[in-house]
């Protein structure tokens, strides 16, 4: 490697490190230009920055005597320091002494954190929490002393169980084992509930920090990351750090202020998960990989990993580990009480998630994320629809009321449901008649394209994505004359094309029937008209920026996928299917780009990527958006052969059917996850067999994701 | 190295000084680990400091500059440990008290670095690209110097040392992983 290249590597690496984790990727892409080798080199170095102890200097202590204490042996290490067994001369007793490594002694953040730990833990007097005796400093050595728990930590016990070595727990998978771990976790919950009661959140609950004493009782240690609400927070506290395996999604996202008591509920749930399955909820080669998984995937269901687990205990674990805090136990106490109900063999509170909750989880409109992370082919992952996709015989009840746009009254008409495969290709199966308006019907789980026609010829179309076990669904749809609906649309004749061999991510499908698609992405003006006509909520950011700056011919962004679907439905249309979108991206011949083989330039696709990195605040990002996004149709060079614009450029787009995309380059199988939305490729450097995969971390709203509508030509 | 004036004899002299430090450290490391209770933590800085004091006492004026000494000492630490690790690998260990004592030192380091021989090879590879980063790793990891000490030993800003360290650590971590195809250092 020549020296200028090395300098460049170091410069970009250093600059990326200064950014929050979820912004590094896009920065890196931007900085590396099209230089894939450079990108790969820096990315692998960034990924290797794990929070473990690799090359961290051995702790340095000036003396084995620290004031009143003799250090005897190192017994462990926590997030903030090394723990020694020590002898206290004045009181003739053994204590645990935690020493801040000397190389942190002049690091103000570390010292502050160390003292915060002592203060936070010092407030806690509970049999399940190791008591703090005192805080002190000798020379440059900061340390505090605490109750010495004679025992082993749960991480060591777990490791022994896994290896079949002797341990203090009852035999794995026996009744006694499950009862014991329910008691153990309940003991931890009791201690944490106490801590929460006086305003201390542990934030680093993991097996390593749970000591088991000679009586088999748990004691929480290491409040090194604790947040004391009364003491306020220090900037470092909101940064992602520590062992990531037990981190809650909100912690992994490092969301400011979003980390409260429920983060401990999640992490304790993750510990329970490991005790039940003997596997961590998420594994990965690097911290980043683990964090990515926490952000976008659900862990393998407990019962799928270990059938021996009592169902109620698995449900309790699932509820504690819900991805959204509001679906977890409302408090540590509630978690504790449910464990007690399990131990009493009574009915527990935790229940399999209902459809309404899944739907909420699915489309919960979040505020614009702190940083808009991923670029490229966006796939936001539906939280939990996952395992529910395995074919089951449970039909889903659907109620659909069809009305005409101009009259807003129910009309006589017919409806059909066409079964699609998971990528939105038609399947061989026969369409199902839905009866008459209002339509009440039941469908097997899966993806369906529903088509409605009134006697006057008005039509509407929508995708139904039905996970098995869905609760009854109730919708309205608006029928419009086709000539009205197809204004501004282009007919795409995809006949003869199937994805076989074209895209490694698409299931092999049959031909796509001819369809109409909006020539441009839906604009701000169009979306505003919809909101005004229907009272539908406007994108959150509209209320927070100077809307006078936002041109009406910009693509509308900042809405959730549900908002996009609502708009399409109001127009009597639907979003594009994954299959259609892929066809538009690559054409019959499977070209690398939607305009053909020519390498992309800004003239083809714009430079929206820059807006993604425009800043920390909404205002800054909005200004970046204004600067780098262009009015629809600005990039004629990027047109598809059918004349559609911005399919591969300007903002990304939501799609209407789920897609089974790989995390990285591994394809997901049907029983792992359903991914709900994704969009056009902004970023075309990371080629995966000619396709570009990327993952967005949330089903929230994004400044750089818009949408366009589509409609099948004829049925 | 800016402190060349302290080694007027050039390479040969540097070589000589190096072996002096090396011998001193080797002996110190062995002695210091003997008789210590198991689980006791190694103190590389203490070793280096002690070696420095001894050399000063020996009246060798070339060591009047502590920063200069640190550079050598850290390199020497690296070689002491890697040497020992290599011998440990190559020869079936005889039950020698001294050997066992140094084994403990190597063990302490390998807790943080994984296989020292692999790390050494990684450092060689890094030296081809950026020798300064290697010096930072030697001072901070093998010499146990703080970032501030490292910075003053190299005549750099602390901030530069820190960012160099973060890069070097990640680079090495990545390099070792790809060399071995798996993670060689234990999970925390």
Which pLDDT score is estimated for B39? 37
The two structure tokens encoding residue A308: 């021996």
A408's CB contacts (< 8 A; 6+ apart) are: none
Report the residue of chain B nearest A14, measured CA to CA: B163
At A610, is the secondary structure helix, strand, or coil?
helix
The two structure tokens encoding residue A523: 């604009």
Q: Give me the long-range contacts of A160-165 (CB less than 8 A, separation at least 24).
A: A161/A278, A162/A278
CA dist A591 and A583 (Å) reads 10
- Which residues 108-147 of B have a C-beta within 8 angstroms of A? 108-109, 111-114, 119, 129-130, 137, 140-141, 144, 146-147
CA-CA distances (angstroms) from residue A650 to A150, A157, A355, A520, A585? 62, 53, 35, 10, 14
Name the least confident of A97-106, A169-178, A511-520, A679-688.
A679-688
Q: Judge whether A4 is closer than 8 Å to chain B, CB to CB.
A: no
- Every domain of chain A and the residues it spans: 3-47, 59-352, 386-391+482-712
- How many C-beta atoms surround the C-beta of residue A171 within 10 A? 10
Name the least confident of A262-266, A594-598, A645-649.
A594-598
Indicate the Cα dihedral angle B89, B95, B100, B102, nearest 10°: -60
CA dist A564 and A676 (Å) reads 13
Q: What spatial distance separates the first Cα and last Cα of chain A, rounded to whole Å?
A: 60
Spell out which residues of chain B touch residue A56, defining contact as CB-CB under 8 Å.
112
- How many C-beta atoms surround the C-beta of residue B83 within 10 A? 16
Flag whether pLDDT at B97 surpasses 70: no
- Supply the ipTM of this predicted assembly: 0.74
Which pLDDT score is estimated for A361? 40
Cα-to-chain-centroid distance, residue A7? 34
3-state secondary structure A144-197: EEECCCCEEEHHHHHHHHHHCCCCCCCCCCCHHHHHHHHHHHHHHHHHHHHHHH
Spell out which residues of chain A touch residue B113, defining contact as CB-CB under 8 Å.
54-55
Tens of pLDDT, residues A535-574: 898 998 888 888 888 899 999 998 887 889 899 999 999 9
CA dist A436 and A390 (Å) reads 30
Per-residue DSSP letter, B6: G
Flag whether pLDDT at A153 surpasses 60: yes
Which pLDDT score is estimated for A619? 82
H or E element that contains A506: none
Max mean pLDDT range (A411-420, A524-533, A687-696, B172-181):
A524-533
Average pLDDT score, chain A? 76
Which pLDDT score is estimated for A72? 67
With bands split at pLDDT 50, 70 and 90, how would you rate the model's confidence at A164? confident
With bands split at pLDDT 50, 70 and 90, how would you rate the model's confidence at B51? low
Which pLDDT score is estimated for A526? 96
Report the residue of chain B nearest A46, measured CA to CA: B170
- How many C-beta atoms surround the C-beta of residue B155 within 10 A? 10
Note if A204 is an active site residue: yes
Asked if A619 and A545 touch (Cβ cutoff 8 Å), the reply is yes
Q: Judge whether B4 is closer than 8 Å to chain A, CB to CB.
A: no
Which pLDDT score is estimated for A697? 31
Give the mean pLDDT of B158-183: 82
Spell out which residues of chain B touch residue A102, defining contact as CB-CB under 8 Å.
45, 146
CA dist A195 and A19 (Å) reads 33
Q: Check A153, A204, A238, A613 and give the catalytic one.
A: A204
Tens of pLDDT, residues A397-435: 899 988 887 766 667 788 899 888 766 777 777 788 888
Max mean pLDDT range (A105-119, A165-179, A496-510):
A165-179
CA dist B147 and A277 (Å) reads 43
CA-CA distances (angstroms) from residue A377 to A338, A662, A663? 42, 12, 12
At A463, is the secondary structure helix, strand, or coil?
strand
A38's CB contacts (< 8 A; 6+ apart) are: A5, A8, A9, A12, A32
Give the mean pLDDT of A80-104: 81
Flag whether pLDDT at A454 surpasses 80: yes
Using only the alpha carbons of chain A, give its radius of gyration. Answer: 28
From the list A55, A61, A73, which residue is nearest B169 (CB)? A55
Tens of pLDDT, residues B2-21: 333 333 333 335 556 666 66
H or E element that contains A251: helix A249-252
Closest CA to B89 of B118, B123, B69, B54: B118
Q: Which residue has the tokens 């407030």?
A: A123
Flag whether pLDDT at A128 surpasses 50: yes
Q: Judge whether B61 is closer than 8 Å to chain A, CB to CB.
A: no
With bands split at pLDDT 50, 70 and 90, how would you rate the model's confidence at B98? very low
CATH label, A386-391+482-712, candidates 3.90.1410.10, 3.90.1580.10, 3.40.190.10, 3.40.50.2300? 3.90.1580.10
> Are the beta carbons of A45 and B171 separated by less than 8 Å?
yes
Give the mean pLDDT of B24-43: 51
Asked if B172 and A45 touch (Cβ cutoff 8 Å), the reply is no
Which pLDDT score is estimated for A375? 24
From the list A6, A48, A64, which residue is nearest B170 (CB)? A48
- Based on the number of CB atoms within 10 Å of its own CB, is A533 exposed (0-12), middle (13-18) or buried (19 or more)? exposed
> Are the beta carbons of A57 and B183 separated by less than 8 Å?
no
With bands split at pLDDT 50, 70 and 90, how would you rate the model's confidence at A214? confident
The two structure tokens encoding residue A3: 């020296």
User: Torsion-angle region of residue A643: left (phi > 0), alpha (psi -120 to 50) or beta?
Assistant: left
Which pLDDT score is estimated for A59? 43
From the list A49, A82, A103, which residue is nearest B166 (CB)? A49
H or E element that contains A223: none
Q: Judge whether A496 is closer than 8 Å to chain B, CB to CB.
A: no
CATH 3.40.50.410 fits A59-352, yes or no: no
Flag whether pLDDT at A365 surpasses 60: no
């Amino acid at each position: 490697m020549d020296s200028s290249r090395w300098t460049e590597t170091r410069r970009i690496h250093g600059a990326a490190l200064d950014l929050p984790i979820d912004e590094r990727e896009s920065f890196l892409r931007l900085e590396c230009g099209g230089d894939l080798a450079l990108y790969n080199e820096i990315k692998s170095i960034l990924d290797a920055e794990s929070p473990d102890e690799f090359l961290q200097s051995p702790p340095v202590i000036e003396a084995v005597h620290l004031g009143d204490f003799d250090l005897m042996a190192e017994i462990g290490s926590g997030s903030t320091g090394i723990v020694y067994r020590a002898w206290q001369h004045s009181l003739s007793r053994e204590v645990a002494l935690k020493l801040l490594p000397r190389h942190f002694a002049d690091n103000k953040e570390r010292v502050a954190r160390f003292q915060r730990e002592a203060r936070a833990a010092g407030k806690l007097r509970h049999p399940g929490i190791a008591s703090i005796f005192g805080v002190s400093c000798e020379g440059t050595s900061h340390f505090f002393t605490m109750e010495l728990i004679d025992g082993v930590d749960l991480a060591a016990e777990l490791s022994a169980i896994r290896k079949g070595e002797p341990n203090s727990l009852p035999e794995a998978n026996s009744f006694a084992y499950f009862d014991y771990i329910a008691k153990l976790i309940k003991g931890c919950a009791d201690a944490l509930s106490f801590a929460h009661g006086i305003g201390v959140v542990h934030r680093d609950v993991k097996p390593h920090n749970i000591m088991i004493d000679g009586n088999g009782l748990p004691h929480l240690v290491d409040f090194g990351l604790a947040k004391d609400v009364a003491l306020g927070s220090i900037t470092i506290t909101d940064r992602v750090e520590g062992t990531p395996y037990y981190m809650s999604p909100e912690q992994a996202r490092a969301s400011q202020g979003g980390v409260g008591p429920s983060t401990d509920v999640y992490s304790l749930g993750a510990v329970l998960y490991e005790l039940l399955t003997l596997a961590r909820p998420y594994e990965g080669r690097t911290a980043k990989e683990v964090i990515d998984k926490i952000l976008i995937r659900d862990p393998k269901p407990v019962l799928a990993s270990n059938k021996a687990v009592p169902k109620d205990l698995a449900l309790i674990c699932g509820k504690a580990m819900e991805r959204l805090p509001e679906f977890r136990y409302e408090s540590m106490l509630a978690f504790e009480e449910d464990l007690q109900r399990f131990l009493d063999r009574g009915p527990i509170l935790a229940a399999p998630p209902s459809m309404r909750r899944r739907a909420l989880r699915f489309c919960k409109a979040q505020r614009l994320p702190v940083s808009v992370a991923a670029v490229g082919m966006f796939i936001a992952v539906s939280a939990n629809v996952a395992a529910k996709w395995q074919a089951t015989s449970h039909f889903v009840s659907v109620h659909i009321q069809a009305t005409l746009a101009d009259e807003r009254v129910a009309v006589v008409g017919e409806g059909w449901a066409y079964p699609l495969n998971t990528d939105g290709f038609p399947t061989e199966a026969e369409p199902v008649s839905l009866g008459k308006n209002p339509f009440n019907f039941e469908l097997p789980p899966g993806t369906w394209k529903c088509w409605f026609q009134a006697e006057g010829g008005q039509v509407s179309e929508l995708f139904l994505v039905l996970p098995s076990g869905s609760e009854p669904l109730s919708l309205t749809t608006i029928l419009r004359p086709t000539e009205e609906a197809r204004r501004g649309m282009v007919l795409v004749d995809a006949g003869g094309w199937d994805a076989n061999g074209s895209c490694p991510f698409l299931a092999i499908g049959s031909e796509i029937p001819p369809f109409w698609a909006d020539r441009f992405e839906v604009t701000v003006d169009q979306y505003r008209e919809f909101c005004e006509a229907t009272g539908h909520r406007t994108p959150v950011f509209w209320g927070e920026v100077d809307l006078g700056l936002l041109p009406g011919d910009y693509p509308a962004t900042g809405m959730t996928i549900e908002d996009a679907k609502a708009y399409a439905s109001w127009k009597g249309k639907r979003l594009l299917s994954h299959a259609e979108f892929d066809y538009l991206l690559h054409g019959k011949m499977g070209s690398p780009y939607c305009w053909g083989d020519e390498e992309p330039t800004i003239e083809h696709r714009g430079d929206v990527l820059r807006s993604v990195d425009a800043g920390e605040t909404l205002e800054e990002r909005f200004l970046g958006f204004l600067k780098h996004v262009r009015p629809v149709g600005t990039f004629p060079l990027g047109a598809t052969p059918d004349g559609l614009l911005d399919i591969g450029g300007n903002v990304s787009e939501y799609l209407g059917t789920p897609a089974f995309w790989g995390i990285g380059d591994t394809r997901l199988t049907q029983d792992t996850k359903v991914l709900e939305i994704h969009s056009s490729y902004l970023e075309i450097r990371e080629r995966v067999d000619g396709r570009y995969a990327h993952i967005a971390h949330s089903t929230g709203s994004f400044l750089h994701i818009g949408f366009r509508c589509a409609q099948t030509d004829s049925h | 190295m800016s402190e060349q004036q302290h080694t007027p004899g050039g390479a040969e002299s540097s070589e000589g000084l190096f072996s002096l430090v090396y011998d001193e450290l080797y002996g110190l490391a062995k002695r210091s680990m003997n008789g210590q209770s198991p689980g006791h933590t190694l103190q590389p800085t203490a070793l280096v400091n002690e070696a420095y004091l001894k050399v000063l006492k020996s009246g060798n004026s070339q060591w009047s500059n502590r920063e200069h000494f640190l550079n050598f000492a850290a390199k020497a630490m690296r070689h002491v440990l890697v040497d020992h690790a290599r011998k440990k690998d190559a020869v079936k260990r005889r039950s020698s008290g001294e050997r066992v004592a140094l084994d403990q030192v190597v063990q302490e380091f390998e807790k943080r670095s994984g296989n020292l021989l692999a790390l050494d090879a990684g450092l060689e590879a890094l030296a081809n690209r950026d020798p300064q980063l290697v010096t930072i790793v030697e001072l901070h990891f093998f010499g146990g110097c703080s970032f501030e000490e490292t910075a003053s030993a190299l005549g750099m800003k602390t901030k530069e040392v820190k960012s160099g360290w973060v890069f070097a650590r990640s680079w090495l971590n990545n390099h070792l992983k790809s060399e071995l195809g798996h993670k060689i250092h234990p999970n925390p």
